[in-house]
Amino acid sequence: MSKDSKLERPANADRAVQKEVKEKITRKPSRRLFGTFSGVFTPTLLTILGVIMYLRLGWLVGNAGLLGALLIISLAFAITFCTGLSLSSITTNIRIGTGGAFSVISQSLGLEVGGSVGIPLYLAQALAVSMYIFGFRAGWLWIFPDHAPLLVDLGTFVALFTIAFISTDLAFKIQYVILVTIIASLISIGASVFTTSWVENVQWWGTFPGSPETAFQGADFWVVFAVFFPAATGIMAGANMSGDLQNPRKSIPVGTLAAIGICFVVYILLAVWLAMTTPTEELLNNYNVMIDRAAWGPAVLAGLLGATFSSALSSLVGSPRILQALGEHRILPASNWFTVRTAKGEPRNALLLTGAIVLLALMLRNLNAIAPLITMFFLVTYATINVVVLIEQR
């Protein structure tokens, strides 16, 4: 063998490796990929219009008053909107891989920072599943008050886990039906304007008495904000599917910002409706006030059940993909175990661990206890995404 051939072999090998990598990137994937409406807009909208809207918005107005509620809603959505803009700015400039926000942060600031944020983000998404299950249980017990709450939670979890394990495509098909039920519930609430009497004295700024679970021992502005903020965290539902989108650069910005804008208007209108039609005492004590005050309660109940089920399903589908991305980058112990996929591309082992975490969280038995934890984890993630944009701009 000549000296020249020996020198050429490493270069040829490098070119072969580069060609193989390029083919892997451009090769058409075997699993189904989703568009803007099904992959980002619908799961984001359904996650934001979820359990907090149906079960805690009245409590928010009762504690903070109308002006306080509008301030909390505006502050929460301002944070979400800024983060949505930052996420959109980043996704239009870099190639987004699996893991959504984790992929964005790790590519910009390195795997160390990405991992430190990705793990809390994953835990927030997993804990959110249990929060949505609690909301589903509240609606279910309104229909069947004699059913055991724990059995309702476990039964709901089994149904969600089975759907997520079978196929993400099946989960997204179910969301279209749920979207129709939520629209019907909002129409029922809107129709009640013509049938409900208005309160004489609107509470403009509340006294923050707290919640029934704590015997109304008192709260403050930031405690109420912490309970409400998870309502505005649904923007990660679409971003988490980045590895399963046909065009993440287009779908994530368009779908996320459109969903944020529509949901903000809905929350503002609902807060005004609740403050104008319901006494403060009822807002504080009755978590099902929307069902009772709507023109046709069953439509709102169906919306509650559908929204909470859909939100739980979106989080249960999205959070294992964050864990899978952490495993692919060798950030976690036994990382190879988290990268195992089914024949349809579902992150099987990551889903199993997520299911175990959800079961443990269900034992807390209190939505108000889980919501502040989710708020803390999401605020860390949102702050880091905005820091990424500041660094990139500089």
In which band, very low, low, confident or very high, does the pLDDT at 241 lie, cut at 50, 70 and 90?
low
Both tokens of residue 266?
A: 């809905």
- Most confidently modeled of 34-38, 79-83, 246-250, 321-325? 79-83
Q: Are 306 and 204 in contact (CB under 8 A)?
A: no
Q: What is the pLDDT of residue 115?
A: 82
DSSP code of residue 199: P
Region 174-184: mean pLDDT is 87
What three-state secondary structure class fits 286?
coil
In which band, very low, low, confident or very high, does the pLDDT at 100 lie, cut at 50, 70 and 90?
low
Q: Quick check: 27 pLDDT over 90?
A: no
d(CA 61, CA 209) in angstroms, rounded, equals 12
d(CA 117, CA 376) in angstroms, rounded, equals 12
Q: What is the pLDDT of residue 67?
A: 96
Region 128-141: mean pLDDT is 90
Both tokens of residue 100?
A: 């959504």
Both tokens of residue 307?
A: 């929204």
Q: What is the pLDDT of residue 172?
A: 67
Q: What is the pLDDT of residue 20?
A: 44
pTM of the model: 0.78
Tens of pLDDT, residues 347-390: 888 888 999 999 998 988 777 778 888 888 888 888 888 887 78
Both tokens of residue 321?
A: 């993909």
Cα→Cα distances 263→93, 105, 194, Å: 27, 26, 23
Residue scoring higher pLDDT (99 or 37): 37
Q: Quick check: 29 pLDDT over 60?
A: no
Both tokens of residue 234?
A: 């649904």
Q: How far is CA 167 from the centre of its chain?
A: 19
d(CA 80, CA 228) in angstroms, rounded, equals 13
Q: Quick check: 72 pLDDT over 80?
A: yes
Q: Lowest-pLDDT range, 35-44, 105-114, 235-244, 328-337?
A: 235-244
Tens of pLDDT, residues 274-301: 999 999 999 999 999 999 999 999 999 9
Residue scoring higher pLDDT (198 or 19): 198
Partnered with residue 245 across adjacent β-strands are 34
Q: Are 284 and 214 in contact (CB under 8 A)?
A: no
Residue scoring higher pLDDT (191 or 247): 191
The per-residue pLDDT of the chain, averaged, comes to: 82
